[in-house]
Structure 1
Amino acid sequence: MTKFSSAALIAAGLIATGPALAQSEPQGDRVEVNGMEMYYEVSGEGDPMIVLHGAHMNIDTMGEIIPMLAQTHTVYAIEFQGHGRTTDIDRPINYPNLASDVAAFMDAVGIEKADVFGYSMGAAAGLKFAIDYPEKIDQLIAASTSFTYEGMQEEYLAMVPDMGPEMFAFFEEGWAELAPDPEGFDAFIEKMIALEHETFDWTEDVGELEAPVLIIAGDADVVTLEHSVELFNLLGGGVMGDMGVPLPQSRLAIMPATSHTAVISQPDLLYAFIEPFLAGETPAGFFEQ
């Protein structure tokens, strides 16, 4: 998650989402990516889509959105460094590295270009991937992310300096059940806490993106509403419709009464936003009847 992996924010999300619905026999496999053994699952048929989970999550805790997307796409859901069944390596967990892992994964399994859906940390990794590897991305769905460190709520930023390993202790049992090295939790958490402290500003890069982006955020998310609107404006949004010109390809969707961890627990609403975006469908106004 983009600076969102505190225990207070993540616990509810992992409990609420639970395991994914039964898919059409998703196929799990491992592939070597940048020195790690990355676990991934493939399901569905259609154009390729890469699904990127949030911090401290895995494929299962992404919930029902994966089988929904697999109705119309070949979904490649991956597990990031140190998460789920993917090995950890002697390397920081940061957004440039995560973006590089996505690109290397695509090369390893033979995907030239794909749509990307990311949630929280996965959305930030997806945004960085779109910036660093524009030739590999078709369209990006970024749920609950920021493009600068300062885009988060003040309450969250005030909490970051006090983060310590004890805040994440309740993750250890579930983490160890899947981890290739069940004894590596402390080293993994140190990297995740370091990620929380990393500052970044991708403003200039975002303004140069050509890939269409669907921004999704909760109205009570950790990212401020103002920041989500600013991201939309940088991508060409915020114009008036009904003026005889096509709307921008990028879009903004705000989920009502929705906290950060509640974003991923509403797959029906997410899917209702995602599929029309990917298909390039827009509602017809009065002047287009």
Structure 2
Amino acid sequence: MFRTALVVAAVLVAGLTIARSEPVSNRVEVNGMQMYYEVSGRGDPLIVLHGAYMNIPSMGEIIPMLAESHEVYALELQGHGRTTDIDRPITYQNLADDVAVFMDAIGIDKADVFGYSMGAAAGLQLAIRHPEKVNKLAAASVAYDAEGWQPALKAFIPQMTVEMFLDMHFADQYRELAPDPDGFPVLVEKLIALEHEPMAWEEDVKALKTPVLIITGDADIATLEHSVSMFRLLGGGVMGDMGEPLPESRLAVMPATAHTAVIRQPALLHAFVEPFLNGETPKGMFE
């Protein structure tokens, strides 16, 4: 009888674990929009922020991998996925403030943050504008200054038009999920305007106390020199093995990786992000 009870209890616990691992979706009002989000996993809270033109599904397998050891809150930002748009520009500062309001609305005082591309820049602004809300920030494909973009991107931005985006694959994804399936041209207009927004955050980044993991592809939209410069602003780039602890911020470079390939390597991303969030460092000979 006792053994049977143990088996039943184990089955029930396993069932609850499996059920809890499935994302739970919800919506909450944030600054006049209905923000869609999904919660999965168990552990300390981790907020995941997607890139431009993206949504939760297009972030791929990194979300369930992170949910193995964290309670992941995956958000869909203004006008993206199932979140409604509002009559307001999309700026990194606005997106950051939206995340802060979201955290207040659902009762998260402080969390780790993982962001990709636009989501990484929004996460960086969250750490700048609301440092009390961010424990650690993992930022993939990010810049702190528009001068850090690759010359090819800087040359392409003035040529961007709404029409060149209307037949891209993410336009179909937009129509499948959006509350307003016809709203894609408006989103594109706002995201093109975002590319023209001033970005010069050097002093803000230098003043950050939040540990930041910078992840970049070696063929990403920001130059490698810019990523190294950001790492140095955060206290990185010193020599180890000298008896001093390493800086809390880190830099990871993904080889043979263009911008859109960063998020398509979830195992490598996870291998960078998880030790950073856990405060783990490789041990050297002198430790």
Equivalent AA in structure 2 for residue 264 of structure 1? I
How far is the alpha carbon of 1:37 from its aligned partner? 0.1
Map 1:112-123 to 2 at 5 A. Answer: 112-123=109-120
How far is the alpha carbon of 1:172 from its aligned partner? 2.6
- Which residue of structure 1 aligns with residue 90 of structure 2? 93
- Which residue of structure 2 aligns with residue 55 of structure 1? 52
- Which residue of structure 2 aligns with residue 253 of structure 1? 252
How far is the alpha carbon of 1:23 from its aligned partner? 8.6
Give the greater-gyration-radius structure (CA).
Answer: 2
SS in 2 for 1:287: coil
CA distance in 2, matches of 1:179, 1:284: 47
Instruction: State yes or no: 1:168 paired with 2:165.
Output: yes
- Which residue of structure 2 aligns with residue 45 of structure 1? 42
Map 1:49-88 to 2 at 5 A. Answer: 49-88=46-85
Structure 2 portions without partners, runs of 5+: 1-18
CA distance in 2, matches of 1:119, 1:189: 18
Of 131, 134, 143, 1:134 maps to 131
CA distance in 2, matches of 1:184, 1:274: 34
Alignment deviations for residues 200-240 of structure 1 (CA, whole Å, 9 cap, x no partner): 10000000100100000000111100000000000000000
- Which residue of structure 1 aligns with residue 25 of structure 2? 28
- Which residue of structure 2 aligns with residue 278 of structure 1? 277
Percent of matched pairs sharing the same residue: 69
Equivalent AA in structure 2 for residue 226 of structure 1? E
SS in 1 for 2:166: helix
Equivalent AA in structure 2 for residue 41 of structure 1? E
SS in 2 for 1:286: coil
Alignment deviations for residues 183-210 of structure 1 (CA, whole Å, 9 cap, x no partner): 2222221111111111210000000100
CA RMSD across the alignment: 1.1
How far is the alpha carbon of 1:146 from its aligned partner? 0.0
* Structure with more contact order per residue of length (Cα contacts < 8 Å, sep ≥ 6): 1
- Which residue of structure 2 aligns with residue 228 of structure 1? 227
How far is the alpha carbon of 1:157 from its aligned partner? 0.3
Equivalent AA in structure 1 for residue 238 of structure 2? V
- Which residue of structure 2 aligns with residue 152 of structure 1? 149
CA distance in 2, matches of 1:153, 1:282: 31
Number of matched pairs: 267
Runs (4+) off by over 6 Å? none
How far is the alpha carbon of 1:173 from its aligned partner? 2.5
CA distance in 1, matches of 2:174, 2:283: 47
